[in-house]
Structure 1
Amino acid sequence: MDELLNVALVQTSLAWEDPKANREELDTKLEALTSDIDLIVLPEMFTTGFTMSPRNIEKEEGQRTLAWMQQKAKEKDVAMVGSIVFFENDAYTNRLLFVEPDGKTSIYDKRHTFTLAGEDKVYQAGKERLIVNYKGFKICPMICYDLRFPVWARNTEDYDVLIYVANWPEPRITAWDTLLKARAIENMTYCIGVNRIGSDEVGHKYPGHSVVFDGLGKELEFSVKEEIVTTSLSKKHIHEVRNKLKFLNDRDRFTLE
C-alpha cells in the first residue's frame, strides 16, 4: 500500500512585527482546512515578517507561538512547520519549529543567515541539520537563504521531502524557482517551497511562487496568490524514482565541517 503525506502550503501575507495579529489571521485561514491534512507548512518568520529588529518583539513571543502551534497541531491532528523569531540563552535565532500532533517539537536554527540584509549581525546561526521522521516520511526542513547552498541540502540520509520556508523577494524570484527545482532533481526528493506574499514595512514585495516538485523535478503545484495549496506526496514515487535511477549511489563522499 502506498504511503501518502497530505500537505498544506500556506501562502499568506504577514502583519509586520505583530505576532498576535498573525496568529489570529492564521487561526481564521486554517479553519478552512479539511481533516485529511497531515502537515501544514508556514512561511519563514510567519509571526513577524523578515524583521532585522528582533528587539521590537517581546522576548516571550517565541514561546507563545510555540504553544499556539502545539495547540493547533493537537486540535487538527496535524504537524506544523514554519520559522519564527526566537529568543533563548540571551540570543535571537531564526528558528524553525516542526511540531507534531502529540506536541513533540523538533527545532532547526537557520544555518545560512542572510548577510545581504544583515541577518548575521542580529541572529545567531545554527550548526545542525534537522531530519524529522513523520508518518513514514523522512523530512528535511530548511529556511530561505539555505536554498542557495546545495551542499547543506545534500541527500546523504535518503530523506523523502525537502522543505524550504521563505520570505523571498520579487527581484530574485527566478533564483527561487530555479533552485527549488534543482534541489528536487539532484537529491531525487520531493521539494516544497513556501514563500510569503504581499509587501513588508521596509518596501520588499513578495510574489509567492510557493511550489511542489516531485523527485524528477516535475512541477505538481504552483501559486502566485494568497491561498492555501494542498498536495499529496507518495512514498511509492520516491521508491520508484530511486530504484529505477540509482544516481544517488554515485554521489561524492565528503563531510561538512
Structure 2
Amino acid sequence: MNLISLQIETLEDFDKNLENFKSLIISSKENSLIVAPELALVGFAYNKMEEASLFSIKAINEIKELSENKIIAITTIVKENEKFYNRLFIIFNKNIVHTQDKIKLFPLGDEDIYFTPSKENNIKIIEINGLKIATLICFELRFPALWEQIKGADIILNPSMWGIKRKDHYETISKSLALVNQAFVVASNSANSNMARGSAIISPFGNLTKDDNKIVLETKFDKDEIIKVRKYIDIGLTTL
C-alpha cells in the first residue's frame, strides 16, 4: 500500500480543481491511499454554496470511476434537507465505503455560520482490505477526546485547510497524533498562499515524509512499524 498526501491549491474554478485532482489520481500507482486537502475541489465557497453542492455530486461520481484498486479520501460540500455539510467521502473500487460529516466546525473561519455540524458521532474506524482507517477533518485534530475514539486505527487521515498563522500547531499536533495513537498519519493540507502547507506522512515512530514544495508526498505503508511500536510501548492498543 502506498500512502499519498496531496498538497494542492484550490482555485476559484471548480472544474479546474476537479481535473487537476483526477490527473493526480490517474498518475498514482495502484494500491494507493490518496488524501486530498479539505474542500480541495470547491473551497469554503460561502458565496456559492448551492453551486458547490451540485458540483460535488458530479465530482464524486467522476472520482468513483477512477478508484479501482485505489482508496480516495475527499471532503466536499453537500446539501441535505436545506442544510450544508462538510462531508468526507472514502471511495474504493468505485464504491463509497464511508461518509463522515465534520463535527467540530472552526468558528474563526465562520464555518459554524454556513455549515451544520454532524448530529451523529460518526467518527470511527473503518476497515478496507484488512486496514483499519479513521479520519479527523482539519480542526478536529485539536480535540483529544476524538483521538480516543480512533485508538487502534492503523492509518489516520487528516484532510485540512489550516491557516499559515498556526502552521507550527498543525505540524506539532499531526506528529503528536501519530505518536500517541501509534499509527500512520496522512496529513494533507492546502497549498493556497494563506494556508500552512505542512502536509506530511508520519510513521508511528514519528518519522516524517514532508516537503512544503511538493504537490505529492508518498511513502510505503508498513504494518510491521505499527506492530513494533505497540510492542515496544504497550499502551493497550490491539494490532489485529
Q: Normalized against structure 2, the TM-score is what?
A: 0.91
Return the match for 1:14 from 10, 13, 28.
Answer: 10
Of residues 206, 211, 233, the one that matches 1:245 is: 233
Asked if the contact 2:201–2:218 (Cα under 8 Å) also holds between the matched residues in 1, the reply is no
Q: CA deviation at 1:26?
A: 1.7
Match of 1:197 in 2: 191
Question: Which whole-Å CA distance do the structure 2 matches of 1:40 and 1:149 have between them?
Answer: 24
Deviations 1:159-209 (A, max 9, x none): 11111100111111000010011111111111121001023xxxxx12421
* Alpha-carbon contact 1:137-1:235 (below 8 Å) kept: no
Deviation, structure 1 residue 216: 2.3
Give secondary structure in 1 for the equivalent of 2:46.
coil
Letter in structure 2 aligned against 1:41 = V
The amino acid of 1:32's aligned partner reads: S
Q: Which residue of 1 aligns with 2:224?
A: 236
Q: Secondary structure at the match of 1:60?
A: helix
Unaligned runs of 5+ in 1: 200-204, 250-257
- Are residue 210 (structure 1) and residue 199 (structure 2) matched? yes
Structure 1 residue 20, shift from structure 2 partner = 1.7
Moved over 3 A (4+): 51-54
Output the CA distance in 1 between the equivalents of 2:52 and 2:226: 43
RMSD: 1.8
Q: 2: CA distance between counterparts of 1:176 and 1:207?
A: 8
**Cα separation, 1, equivalents of 2:14 and 2:125:** 27
Distance 1:153 1:59, change over 3 A: same
The 1:55/1:155 distance shift into structure 2, 3 A limit, reads closer
SS at match of 1:20: helix
Matches within 5 A, 1:48-87: 48-55=42-49, 57-74=51-68, 77-87=69-79
Aligned to 1:109: 101
Contact 1:50 1:167 in 2 (8 A): no
Task: Give the structure-1-normalised TM-score.
Answer: 0.85
Q: Which residue of 1 aligns with 2:181?
A: 187
Number of aligned residues: 235
The answer as to 2:84 corresponding to 1:92 is yes
Change (3 A) 1:136 1:24: same
**Shift of residue 157 of structure 1?**
4.8
Kept in 1, the 8 Å contact 2:123–2:149? The answer is no
Percent sequence identity over matched residues?
21
What SS does the corresponding residue of 2:39 show, helix, strand or coil? coil
Shift of 1:155: 5.1
1:58 CA drift (Å): 4.6
Q: Give the corresponding residue for 1:24.
A: 19
Helix, strand or coil for the counterpart of 1:247?
coil
**Structure 1 residues 207-234: Cα deviation after superposition (integer angstroms, max 9, x where no partner):** 4211111112222x00212411111111
Looking at structure 1, the residues matched to 220 and 150 of structure 2 have their Cα atoms a distance apart, in angstroms, of 24
Distance (Å, rounded) in 1 between the aligned partners of 2:124 and 2:56: 19
- Distance in 1 (CA, whole Å) between partners of 2:4 and 2:76 is 18
Structure 2 counterpart of 1:92, which letter? F
* Contact 2:65-2:94 within 8 A present in 1 as well: no
